[in-house]
């Protein structure tokens, strides 16, 4: 699974991270938060991602 994901990622033929083999909602949310900087466009279900997401929201309001 990891080899296929890697090949697809490197082929650069994907548009959305969920187009890649084995990528589910958690990985898509994490990718949006940590890789694309589009954390404010997702609302994760995972409790640890939610903690970081809440932190980002709190500092955004302070700026």
Active-site choice (19, 40, 45, 46):
46
CATH code of residue 35: 1.10.340.30
User: What is the per-residue pLDDT for 61?
Assistant: 77
User: What is the per-residue pLDDT for 60?
Assistant: 85
Q: Name the pTM for this structure.
A: 0.81
User: What is the per-residue pLDDT for 37?
Assistant: 93
Domains in the chain, number:
1
DSSP state of 5: H
Domain extent at residue 2 = 1-61
The closest alpha carbon to 37, from 22, 18, 52, belongs to: 52
16-29: pLDDT as tens digits:
999 999 999 999 99
CA–CA separation, 59 and 55 (whole Å): 6
11-59: pLDDT as tens digits:
999 999 999 999 999 999 999 999 999 999 999 999 999 999 999 999 9
Residue 46 is among the residues annotated as catalytic for this protein: yes
Report the phi/psi class of residue 21: left, alpha or beta, with left for phi > 0 and alpha for psi in -120 to 50: beta
């Amino acid at each position: 699974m990891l080899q296929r994901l890697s090949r697809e990622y490197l082929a650069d033929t994907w548009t959305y991270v969920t187009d890649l083999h084995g990528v589910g909602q958690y990985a898509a949310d994490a990718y949006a938060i940590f890789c694309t900087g589009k954390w404010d466009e997702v609302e994760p279900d995972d409790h640890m991602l939610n903690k970081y997401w809440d932190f980002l929201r709190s500092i955004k309001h302070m700026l």
